[in-house]
Structure 1
């Protein structure tokens, strides 16, 4: 258990510092603001934030906005921190370190304190640091959910797009755990990294002959499964590379699909969304996120997975604004985490 003075429960301030945006914009800039410390419902716990993991989706919504948001809006979805307030009989208890993926429709977690339903968090074991835990929720859960939706089995093959990204790195490792043959795309400078993670075949995503080179290694039958984290034109190309009745899990909105290709391949298409668990108000889905986070923590504790390279970002408006724009610019292979 973290070295944390539980008497803090009596000394929680009324206000807290947070990083928020006043409006969505392509040139968004975060501002340091004061907000009231959240008031908890009976099934919620109050957490003092230690680290926040940054994801591409944070920057995407900072640019585009999100209909349920009220402004100013606090950004951030992946949090790790210590419970400082919990109703009697609620688990986790005060003093426990927890991690979770937050409700996208509510205020985010780039703040000194945040509240969360107790059933949606996972307790971080003592042998995993807060920094390590902060890399896991969004990217790790998306990788696991994709592989579950794809029903990936031993002996099958899978194409994992953007293998050097955080989602791709986790997906490669979990796909190898399931006994699959892994094909992936990455920039040339990251080929060594993804091979070290277990990828069997690596292709330069910028190669103009990418389709032909994949077919040369894959053969005429096609992929059993595809994890499509790129979207756009790549989705139709990936379906073309699949076998008849293959499966594809998509993390981006679907493009206009080629109807002839749909008839030819008859693919099973799955859409993956973490935010939907909150927006649909699905208690089961929110609890499942807690179970998935626990599985990620167990794999890390048992040295079954390797984390992306961690870059710490200071909790100030300039540093976090720059970090989020860096996520959006692409080509980022590690994991940025904000240190409080």
Structure 2
């Protein structure tokens, strides 16, 4: 335990369902890690769409006063019983939605989920990775690796799609994406085969023409369950439809036709259902993603920083869609 830690800390508290501007800045006693937990002094907080959505919608485990925020980076300053991580270790994390989160100067984290950060990755960059990076990793591992196949990633201008498209290229696939034209050059520079403007009503036909006799082995959709269903007819026999935003309740193609497989991505469910082996895979995936960042083998969308005092405003900007990269708050 570090003795010089302040007994009080600043948090952004949730008063109940409302927009990000409803968050209240409060002083709270510094939390104490329970057995199996790590206390992290936050140095950077990554903002994600799930943050404003939960603030607006609420969560079954939340009551007024809850501290939102899923992604953070900081330094281990205290540990609970059963944890052997060294004090001073620089780490990243993706917090359970059911627990007080990263919109605070200190956060208690399940020790199994902690991701050490390589020395060559700065705090702000590291804070932009956990949620989109681990979501992309989970989506990718749903689909068996078969090289030289064609796959589609929708919404590749967003953080999840941007990372996922790169991982798909690394998998040996021909990767096609949809994105706004402003992202085209950046995506092509990453090895993407081609970029289609999702606002073009003919983009599906254009993709089909580019594929020729081939069909898509997998579709990774970051838009919605309804949007994912609308793409199912583009899949090949035994193809894979991965729904990252929402889920598909019923198979969108008739039985005994293309026999596609449906996949759901639910990153935060790890806290309710993961085994020790699952947590080892989580940490291994995080380590690999950070190593790729360190050697410039993985690019992130442009990052913009904001102060901790301006967190609600930054989150409102993210909600509005005004900012197309990643937003990171620095306490």
Superposed pair shares fold, TM > 0.5? yes
Is 1:248 aligned to residue 241 of structure 2?
A: yes
The aligned residue for residue 294 of structure 1 is 287
TM-score (normalised: structure 1): 0.91
Q: Which structure 2 residue ranges, 5 or more long, are not aligned? A: none
Please show how residues 51-200 of structure 1 align to structure 2 within 5 Å. 51-86=44-79, 90-200=83-193
Take 2:86 and 2:37, find their aligned partners in 1: how far apart are those partners? 11
Q: Which structure 1 residue ranges, 5 or more long, are not aligned? A: 1-7
Pairwise CA distance, 1:73: 1.7
Pairwise CA distance, 1:227: 0.8
SS in 1 for 2:278: helix
Take 1:19 and 1:287, find their aligned partners in 2: how far apart are those partners? 31
Pairwise CA distance, 1:284: 3.7
Pairwise CA distance, 1:26: 4.8
Is 1:320 aligned to residue 307 of structure 2?
A: no
Pairwise CA distance, 1:161: 0.7
Taking only aligned residues, the RMSD between alpha carbons, in angstroms, comes to: 2.0
Equivalent pairs, count: 331
Q: Quick one: structure 1 residues 280 and 273, their matched pair in 2 at CA, closer, same or farther if it must change by over 3 Å?
A: same
SS in 2 for 1:325: helix
Contact 2:12 2:104 in 1 (8 A): yes
Q: Quick one: structure 1 residues 26 and 255, their matched pair in 2 at CA, closer, same or farther if it must change by over 3 Å?
A: farther
Can you list the C-alpha shifts for 1:104-158, whole angstroms capped at 9, x where unaligned? 1111111010111222111112221111111111111111111111123321111
Contact 2:10 2:26 in 1 (8 A): yes
The aligned residue for residue 4 of structure 1 is none
Contact 1:21 1:28 in 2 (8 A): no
Q: Quick one: structure 1 residues 22 and 128, their matched pair in 2 at CA, closer, same or farther if it must change by over 3 Å?
A: same
SS in 2 for 1:73: coil
SS in 1 for 2:13: strand
The aligned residue for residue 302 of structure 2 is 309
Can you list the C-alpha shifts for 1:69-103, whole angstroms capped at 9, x where unaligned? 12212111111001111258833211110111111
The aligned residue for residue 5 of structure 1 is none
Q: Quick one: structure 1 residues 85 and 305, their matched pair in 2 at CA, closer, same or farther if it must change by over 3 Å?
A: same
Equivalent position to 1:279, from 272, 295, 315? 272
Take 1:53 and 1:219, find their aligned partners in 2: how far apart are those partners? 41
Q: Higher mean Cα deviation, 197-206 or 276-285?
A: 276-285
